Amino acid sequence: MSEQRYDVVIIGAGPAGIFAAIELVRARPDLRILLLERGKPIDKRSCPARQTSCVGCATCAIMTGWGGAGAFSDGKLTLSTEVGGWLGEHTGDEALARLIDDSDRIWLEFGATTVVHEPNAETAERLMRQATLAEMRLVPMRIRHIGSDRSPAVLQAMHEYLTSAGVEVRTGTTAAGILAEEGSVRGVELADGGVIKTGVVIAAPGRDGADWLAAQARELGIGLVNNAVDIGVRVEVPAPVMEPLTDHLYEAKLIQMSHRFGDSVRTFCMNPYGEVTTESYGDIVTVNGHSYAEKRTLNTNFAVLVSQQFTHPFHEPIKYGTSIAGLANLLGEGILVQRLGDLRAGRRSTAKRLAESVVTPTMPSATPGDLSFVLPYRHLVDILDFLDAMDTMAPGVAADGTLLYGIEVKFYSSRLELGRDLQTKVAGLYAIGDGAGVTRGLVQSSASGLVAARSALDKITGD
């Protein structure tokens, strides 16, 4: 196939790749920019699991496609340097705060809501004191909630802007490899055998492409550091139970060092009046959650996750997490759900017992089961202790009728060795976003795109 040449090639059209493209085209409209995405356009992304069950699509519409894994997420923009990834370790906190502001302005420009959820100082102080007494730490945050129903339109507006500005976008196109020579990037090889020549590659493959990026790094001699893997459950309670927190914070970010094992346990992705959903990682299905901007359920859901950082000689935390999630899929033919009271009593939940709960599941397809057959002992103990502590702040969280769905796993990809500008040791090759292990949320992912684009602009100008 004939060779093609571009000034910049971006691999992955999640927030990191999209924001890199926006920054580049605004600064240099004359550049030839190619944005590759192996998934579908956002208006073609459709997940059978939302109607029936996962059928193992060759390309998961939840995890891949224009907008990335966050396209159908809660659309939560967390405007804080304390959560959402490790970008600050590269840029410094002051620079990260500016990058978050820059990213937020772009989200707003393309249709994000102007409403920001933020507790007043007196309320934040009161809730932080309550958390301290419960031996937890509360991180107050400013949150802009787009909503799962609005997010696709915002991301589509970004697509229309980029294509109208001259950026070439190719969906349904897979990058097979990154080409380098004499310490510098030279191009990208496509799965169909085509070769694209370029002096700048910004790799933003997302969580679903993390293994591919790690393999590329090994081939190119770029060092890797294992990030933690977070394993836990999604908790669903009646919305009034969480209102003492969600009415003021929207999302309560609570962190505890477990009493028994010293593990870091935290809440993640809290969805007031939301619903429990699924996401797919290859052959396994895990649980997630989201909420809408324009409609409400009667429940609130959130994850409780236990972080594990593995050391030598073990170097495959993603396989560890997928094996646990796979066991849940084996026992439940998908997602398991259990009443907290049944878990404590050492018995499996049944359809009859679920019907007796005050919580009506928002994922009726989940299989009643027993999570103690799936979760490692230390994870199970950590989660139960965490819910007991949380119950002092939101009475009812640890009630017998509380529903636990499993397994929820968050894979934080192996982090490539990167400079302050997110450039690898291979000149002209940048690695950004969740797939590079740099971020774990929409805002920091977007900000990482800005960092790489600004550095790439300097490199192009210098060349």
Instruction: Find, among 101, 40, 99, 103, the residue nearest to 72 by Cα.
Output: 40
Report, as an integer, the average pLDDT of 414-435: 95
Buried b / exposed e over 131-140, threshold 16 CB at 10 Å, is beebebebbb
Lowest mean pLDDT of 102-111, 146-155, 367-376, name the range.
146-155
CATH code given to domain 4-111+147-225+413-462: 3.50.50.60
Q: How far is Cα 160 from Cα 359, in angstroms, rounded to an integer?
A: 42
For residue 53, pLDDT over 80 is answered with no
Q: How far is Cα 398 from Cα 77, in angstroms, rounded to an integer?
A: 28
For residue 173, pLDDT over 90 is answered with yes
Q: What is the pLDDT of residue 227?
A: 72
> For 282, left (φ over 0), alpha (ψ -120 to 50), or beta?
left
Q: Where are the domains of the chain?
A: 4-111+147-225+413-462, 123-140+228-411
Q: What is the pLDDT of residue 71?
A: 75
Lowest mean pLDDT of 187-196, 274-283, 325-334, name the range.
274-283
pLDDT tens, 312-321? 777 777 788 8
For residue 51, pLDDT over 60 is answered with no
Q: How far is Cα 347 from Cα 371, in angstroms, rounded to an integer?
A: 10
Computed over every residue of the chain, the mean pLDDT equals: 92
pLDDT tens, 321-335? 889 999 999 999 899
21 confidence band (pLDDT: 50, 70, 90): very high
The single-letter code of the amino acid at 360 is T
- Give CA separation, 72 vs 12, 136, 277, in Å: 16, 31, 10
For residue 96, pLDDT over 80 is answered with yes
Lowest mean pLDDT of 83-97, 157-171, 279-293, 335-349, name the range.
279-293
In this predicted model, which residue has the larger pLDDT, 49 or 399? 399
Describe the crossing of helices 442-462 and 15-27 by its angle, rounded to 10 degrees.
40
**All residues at 6 or more sequence positions from 6 whose CB lies less than 8 Å from its CB, including other chains:** 32, 33, 34, 168, 196, 197, 198
297 confidence band (pLDDT: 50, 70, 90): very high
